[in-house]
Structure 1
Amino acid sequence: MSRTTGNGNGGRPGQRLGGAARGEIPHQVDDAPFQPAEETPMTPAQERLYRASQWRMMWWKLKRHKLAVASGILLLLLYASTLISEVIAPYDLHSRFTDHIYAPPQSVHLFHEGAFVGPFVYGYDYKLNMENLQRVYTPDTSDVQPLRFFCSGDSYRFWGLVETDVHLVCPAKGGTLFLLGTDRLGRDMFSRIIYGARISLTIGLVGIAISFLLGIGIGGAAGYYGGWVDVGAQRGIEIIRAFPEIPLWLALSAALPVTWSPLWVYFGITVILGLLDWPGLARAVRAKLLSLREEDFATAAQLMGARPPRIIFRHLLPSFASHLIASATLSIPTMILGETALSFLGLGLRPPITSWGVLLSEAQNINVVALYPWLMLPVVPVIVVVLAFNFLGDGLRDAADPYG
């Protein structure tokens, strides 16, 4: 039987309610069961967000960064093009046209004298300016040269395995197609830029792989073990960072033997770039592991008998893997610029290997550039790729902490 407590008038229900109406707080019924607060069910959108992993939340936040997404798509297309450089390029890397030395870029047209013809270029009229010895080319509007697509052109071995001559676009029979002009030997600049992308883009990936291997290994050991390991790593990083970066690049590149083959020079440059880029990453990894090693999950892994390498690479590093990815996208353009600078100064890659830096080395003479400005066009893809990597890196850095 339930019992109520009155307010001094015998505990009758009517008078009790009247007391509550006058501002008095009634006592709770002793025998009444406890009623928990009713939970509001989550909406499908809230449940989807609650169950999402950190990587999925990072992807959702990255998608809102339109510039970063566009930059990522552009980089994917550029790296995909390196797989089929021979197909995209109209000419072979070393094809020469001695009748068209320093020929200017040819514009692609669709209409000729008001009639639709399709993609075509006009031929050249050539004469030599005897005052400054400049080769002067003028379009010959009577020479219409339609373009061919998926056509036969210069032969090549695709990936060094299959002999073929298929190209995406080719000039008309007996015609020319110099979309970005030619150089001092009459070689097509557009084709050489396409081939150079394969070296300039991959050198950043190989270099960042070396940098990450050293940075994560040394920084992880310093942050996890501490003590003399941390002191030794920190002093080594400070010594390397004390040297000016560009002179150190130049000195190490100049130390490469001149007898090395172009392939060995390529690997030598990538190793140099990777060896000089790891200190910054090592410091970031060390700082992060110093805080994470005190977390409960790291202590639990130690008590269960896990070895330090397993704790570092299986438990600690995945906790900030998104930050490592963002750091990689910001380091790759530094290596691309480093290779371009070294090759431009003649201390990096050397012909017959072709990169954007090697192409720019032909533009060192300002007098030649003033007469033939299209020799500076290889700097355009360098700028585009560096900006794309920086925009993508900014987007990944903002999305790396989706809970922020």
Structure 2
Amino acid sequence: MASSETTLPAPVRGQPENRLVVAGQWRLMWLRFRKHKLAMAGGVVTILIYLVVAFAEFLAPTAPEDYKAAYSYAPPQMLHFISMKSGSPSLLLHVNGYKIEVDKQAGRRNFVADPEVEIPVGLFVRGAPYRLWGLIPLDVHLIGPLNDRDPMFLLGADRLGRDMLSRMIYGARISMSVGLIGVSIALVLGILLGGLSGYFGGGVDTLIQRLIEFLQSLPSIPLWIGLAAAIPPDVDPVLVYFLITVILSGLGWTGLARVVRGRFFALKTEDFIKAARLDGNSSLRIIVRHMVPSFLSHIIAVVTLAIPAMILSETALSFLGVGLRPPIVSWGVLLSEAQNIRSLAQAPWLLLPGGCVVIAVLSLNFLGDGLRDAMDPYA
């Protein structure tokens, strides 16, 4: 009787053996994310911003509180690589100095670039000492004038003669960390309360959902302003930073809680959850070890999209003067100096921190949008 089995021919030497390559879930998500060009660009920009945050002391030419009162509202200087001072072109990294012109009609002095004065600029120069990450004592800065007494304001100076570039770099640390820490706290609250609501249902679900609806019905900006204004003005700046972060995160968890609740309602009837319950696992263990990891990728996308909202909230509060306050440096605090129309007309570079906010928010939104699409690679 003929055999029903089919014998496959042996692979011929020199020819590649046929293989079926099956990509895993994370591999499929990466391939889907890589096709999203704006998300890739947003991810690169976001990584660069957080690298600036991590190495702010090294990248900033000066400390944020250092000032040169004689150069109030000094305009930005351009970096030059070719020096003509000796009569023939020579390679020299420098910026031009300033000369003062008096505007008699406006009654003010104006700084004008003086090409006759060349201020040498170096890379990896020694300057104000600092502690990198609060641990490593250093005094090396990426760029700076070779003589500390010479002015170098690549992005201009503010009303006290402080370097805007240095203050924007230090401001990135505060503004970006407020978003990151605030979202981390909101993540814990959203997963905990949303998980309890979706897992237990009944009265617990009703109570938590009514609380969420109450918080979402309140107008955000007036509520933030009221809570932030309740902080006494003589409170330590570090405590103000902590309280503002708590306020933002305490009101920003509701959207994530709704998402988690819906996912828990769908998952709690799955077979692997029933098996974990019959195996004697506690409710907390089932939530943390089984349910949350099953949609962790979706949570990552939601969190990435929530960080820009936190950054904008901090910037708005600080701009209105009820958020972070000097001597803390954030992008919102820096923008608060641009409220004066006269100062803004004299020094339009005071709006540059607003450009940083736009770039950071757009990059995070593009990144979050790409992650959200990549989380469902089969769509």
TM over 0.5: yes
Letter in 2 for 1:234: Q
Aligned partner of 2:111 in structure 1 is 137
SS in 1 for 2:138: strand
Q: 1:33 to 1:166 in 2, by over 3 A?
A: closer
- Aligned positions of 1:232-271 closer than 5 A: 232-271=207-246
| TM superposition score normalised by structure 2 | 0.92
Deviates more, 1:293-302 or 1:324-333: 293-302
Shift of 1:165: 2.2
Alignment partners' CA distance in 2, 1:57 and 1:163? 44
Q: Which amino acid aligns with 1:398?
A: D
The Cα of 1:267 is off from its aligned counterpart by 0.4
Number of paired residues? 369
1:320 maps to 2:320: no
Distance 1:43 1:177 in 2: 64
Amino acid at match of 2:142: L
For 1:83, the equivalent position in structure 2 comes to: 54
Residues 38-65 of structure 1, C-alpha deviation per residue, up to 9 Å, x if partnerless? 89x9954x4242xx2x223212221222
Where do residues 52-63 of structure 1 align in structure 2 (5 Å cutoff)? 52=24, 54-63=25-34
In the alignment, what sits opposite 2:320? 345
1:123 CA displacement: 0.6
Structure 1 residue aligned with 2:91 = 117
What SS class does the counterpart of residue 147 from structure 1 fall into? Answer: strand
Matched, 1:286 2:261: yes
User: How far apart, in 1, do the equivalents of 2:249 and 2:29 lie?
Assistant: 28
Does 2:105 align with 1:128?
A: no
Q: Give, as a single letter, the amino acid of the residue that structure 2 aligns with 1:91.
A: T
Q: Which amino acid aligns with 1:60?
A: L
Residue deviations 1:295-347 (CA, integer Å, cap 9, x gap): 11111111111111111111111111111000011000100000000000000
1:102 and 1:135 in contact (8 A); partners too: no
Quote the residue 2:374 is aligned against.
399
Higher relative contact order (CA 8 A, sep 6+): 2
Is this contact kept in 1: 2:125–2:146, CA < 8 A?
Answer: no
Q: CA deviation digits over 1:32-89, x for unaligned, max 9? A: 55457989x9954x4242xx2x223212221222221222122112112222211111
Q: Structure 1 CA distance, aligned partners of 2:355 and 2:81?
A: 26
Q: Aligned with 2:329: secondary structure? A: coil
Alignment of 1:179-218 (within 5 A): 179-218=154-193
CA distance 1:198–1:309, shift in 2 (3 Å): same
Query: TM-score, length-normalised on structure 1?
Result: 0.87
Deviation at 1:163, TM superposition (A): 4.2
Distance 2:266 2:7 in 1: 39
- Which amino acid is 2:297 matched to? S
Gaps (5+ residues) in structure 1?
1-30
- Picking from 111, 124, 129, the partner of 1:155 is 129
Q: CA RMSD in A?
A: 2.0
C-alpha separation between the residues in 2 aligned to 1:239 and 1:38?
A: 68
Q: Distance in 1 between matches of 2:130 and 2:266?
A: 55
SS of the equivalent of 1:328 reads helix
Displacement, 1:362? 0.4
- 2:73–2:346 contact (8 Å) kept in structure 1: no
Q: Deviations over 1:350-378 (max 9, x none)?
A: 11111000000000012221221011111
Unmatched 5+ stretches in structure 2: 12-16
SS of structure 2 residue aligned to 1:148: strand
Between the aligned residues of both structures, percent identity stands at 49
Larger radius of gyration: 1
CA–CA distance in structure 2, aligned partners of residues 118 and 162 of structure 1:
31
